[in-house]
């Protein structure tokens, strides 16, 4: 994953998105459906109907970037809402891209005594 600048917010577009859309179509969806500025430097994440494909739209200051990832097995964990957006942290985005359930991450066991 490309390192995002500090202060970059990650927005998941709830519901299903037509994955035939490219940069311009997704940027238009950000403006109309999410009421956000696609050129604001934030990351917008969209998921297809089957759930194994996501697209990330990001303005890096020089141009619009479109990243695509398809899982070979499994599905990306997505909110149950059918409209709106959900804000994620950079760590949650990393988990999402790895196919991990970012909603309920479990911390590893921590010992109570040193010896």
Residue 67, classed as helix, strand or coil, is strand
Phi-psi category of residue 30: left, alpha or beta, with phi > 0 → left and psi -120 to 50 → alpha: alpha
Report the chain's mean pLDDT, rounded to a whole number: 86
* pLDDT confidence band for 114 (50 / 70 / 90): confident
The band of 3, judged by pLDDT with boundaries at 50, 70 and 90, is confident
Q: What is the pLDDT of residue 11?
A: 93
Residues in the chain: 115
Q: Classify burial at 99, counting beta carbons within 10 Å of its beta carbon; exposed 0-12, middle 13-18, buried 19 or more.
A: middle
Mean pLDDT of 90-100: 85
Q: How many C-beta atoms lie closer than 10 Å to residue 86's C-beta? A: 16
* pLDDT tens per residue, range 25-80: 999 999 998 899 999 999 999 999 999 999 999 998 899 999 999 988 888 888 77
Q: Give 43's strand partners.
A: 10, 58
Confidence at residue 85, expressed as pLDDT on a 0 to 100 scale: 84
Looking at residue 27, its pLDDT comes to: 96
What is d(CA 58, CA 15) in angstroms, rounded to the nearest whole number? Answer: 19
């Amino acid at each position: 994953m490309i390192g995002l600048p500090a202060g970059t917010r990650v927005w998941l577009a709830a519901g299903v998105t037509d994955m035939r859309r490219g940069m311009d179509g997704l940027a238009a969806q950000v403006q109309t459906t999410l009421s956000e500025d696609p050129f604001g430097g934030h990351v917008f994440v969209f998921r297809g109907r089957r759930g194994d494909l996501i697209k990330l739209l990001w303005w890096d200051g020089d141009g619009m970037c479109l990243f695509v990832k398809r899982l070979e097995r499994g599905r990306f964990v997505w909110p149950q809402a059918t409209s709106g957006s959900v804000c994620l942290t950079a760590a949650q985005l990393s988990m999402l891209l790895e196919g991990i359930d970012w909603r309920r991450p479990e911390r590893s066991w921590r010992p109570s005594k040193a010896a």
